[in-house]
Amino acid sequence: MRTKSLLNFTLNDLEEEMVFLHEPKYRAEQIFVSVHGKNAKRIEDIKGIPFALIKMLEASYCINSVRNLKVTDSLNFNTKKYLFETEDKQRIESVLISEKGRNTVCISTQAGCNVGCEFCATGKMGFNKNLEAGEIVSQVYEVKRLSGEEPTNIVYMGMGEPFLNYDNMLKSLKILTNEKGIAIPSRRITVSTVGFKDKIKRFADDILNPENKSVKNVKLALSLHTTDNGLREKLIPSSVKNRLPDIYSELAYFYKTTGNKVTYEYIYFEGLNDTDSDIKRLTRLSKMIPSNINIIPFHPIGFELNEPLNVFKNKKDIDKLHSDKNLSGFIKKLKAEKVVVNLRNSSGVDIDAACGQLAVLNK
């Protein structure tokens, strides 16, 4: 029999498992608290359950946490990058950003990514696998253990596209927000996606399901980067089949259904997505539903010298990739239109831990 990781079980899952094992249901909470609240590493470390149950669990179950390989500290920011390895030897990265009393953990949902965004190092490395729910949540537990810091915020903005690992992503949200575990308030969690038809609407319905009440305040971020469909198709290949009008409609449904704020993530490319037409479209978009726009400077990715972005045709254009001389002017124009806009701090750019920079070689 294949061993099953207890890290993959929600509290409800564990209750069903106890019924299957002919054990009292209350044992599920004891196991959940030890595994997800106390970060038990081995089944023998689970507290409060009888020795006979320990031995029964050891026969068919395990606790497969990600394993730390390396911690890299930024010299310029209060940021750490963690290189983890899963039980099947896939390598992933997570990031801890500490600022203004907040400890934000940026976690991955896939080893690699199968979207292939032009501006993202993870997309350039290809897709290896979807992470299990336990592999997602244990990134948070290990960052907490290694850093000694209490996580206050979680962002699903690491390696991978969360909505292409939907079931494990949703299960991990239910685990992280459960009051018997690490108990991260759902209002302090943001899930980022490039946008897929039907998935945003499904997400809205799922987080409002009474069975999922602990996740009802999770925020959504759309990796937008341009309001021009043609350019977006070049930057984000999946947008060919997931066009902006459809995505906007689902975002409106998300807000109307949940009341949760939406954030638009917008990497700045001088001369490509900062025109007057972009200003007008972003202004209209910001008035569609309550939202804010996070402007993100482009961060260098290790693949770009050998494989430059296909929207840049020559050396002069590629130089614009790194230019931000007009960035402040772009933000001022948006603010003049009463758009709620923020410039995202490039925390960890010196250790390849900023937006779009996460990538590893799996050996």
Same structural domain for residues 146 and 57?
Answer: no
Same structural domain for residues 71 and 56?
Answer: no
Instruction: Look at residue 358 and tell me if it is in a domain.
Output: no
Could you tell me if 32 and 8 are in contact, meaning their C-beta atoms sit under 8 angstroms apart? Answer: no
pLDDT at residue 307 greater than cutoff 60: no
The long-range contacts involving 250-254, CB below 8 angstroms and separated by at least 24 positions, are 250/195, 250/197, 250/198, 250/199, 250/200, 250/201, 250/204, 251/200, 251/220, 251/222, 251/288, 251/289, 252/288, 252/289, 253/200, 253/201, 253/204, 254/200, 254/201, 254/203, 254/204, 254/220
Q: How does residue 311 score in pLDDT terms, banded at 50, 70 and 90?
A: low
Q: What is the pLDDT of residues 228-259, one digit of tens each?
A: 999 999 999 999 999 999 999 999 999 999 99
Tell which of 38, 62, 86 closes a domain: 62
Q: Is 120 one of the annotated active-site residues of the chain? A: no
Same structural domain for residues 201 and 92?
Answer: yes
pLDDT of residue 189: 98
Residue tagged active-site, from 17, 23, 93, 270: 93
Same structural domain for residues 118 and 232?
Answer: yes
Please tell me the total number of residues recorded for the chain in this structure: 363
Same structural domain for residues 90 and 181?
Answer: yes
Task: Measure CA 32 to chain center.
Answer: 23
Q: What CATH number corresponds to the domain at position 127?
A: 3.20.20.70
Instruction: Look at residue 359 and tell me if it is in a domain.
Output: no
Phi, psi of 240 (to 5 degrees): -60, -40
pLDDT at residue 267 greater than cutoff 50: yes
CB burial of 333-358 (b: ≥16 within 10 Å; e: otherwise) equals bbeeeebebeeeebbbbebbbbbbbb
Same structural domain for residues 157 and 55?
Answer: no
Nearest to 309 by CA among 275, 271, 281: 271
Residue tagged active-site, from 106, 113, 120, 355: 355
Instruction: Look at residue 363 and tell me if it is in a domain.
Output: no
Same structural domain for residues 44 and 193?
Answer: no
pLDDT at residue 2 greater than cutoff 80: no
Integer angstrom CA distances of residue 208 from 214, 216, 248, 259: 9, 5, 20, 10
Same structural domain for residues 88 and 159?
Answer: yes
Instruction: Look at residue 361 and tell me if it is in a domain.
Output: no
pLDDT of residue 302: 62
Tell which of 46, 62, 78 closes a domain: 62
Phi, psi of 270 (to 5 degrees): -60, 130
Tell which of 19, 35, 62 closes a domain: 62
Instruction: Look at residue 360 and tell me if it is in a domain.
Output: no
Helix crossing, 199-207 with 166-177: angle to 10°?
Answer: 30
Please give the tally of structural domains in the chain: 2
Could you tell me if 290 and 261 are in contact, meaning their C-beta atoms sit under 8 angstroms apart? Answer: yes
Instruction: Look at residue 239 and tell me if it is in a domain.
Output: yes
Tokens coding 282: 């972003």
Instruction: Look at residue 286 and tell me if it is in a domain.
Output: yes
Q: What is the pLDDT of residues 170-221, one digit of tens each?
A: 999 999 999 999 999 999 999 999 999 999 999 999 999 999 999 999 999 9
Instruction: Give the residue numbers spanning the domain of 285.
Output: 67-351
pLDDT at residue 149 greater than cutoff 80: yes
Same structural domain for residues 56 and 80?
Answer: no
Same structural domain for residues 221 and 263?
Answer: yes
pLDDT of residue 294: 96
pTM metric for this prediction: 0.93
Same structural domain for residues 75 and 90?
Answer: yes
Average per-residue pLDDT for the chain: 92
Same structural domain for residues 263 and 327?
Answer: yes
Q: What CATH number corresponds to the domain at position 19?
A: 1.10.150.530
pLDDT of residue 317: 56
Instruction: Look at residue 341 and tell me if it is in a domain.
Output: yes
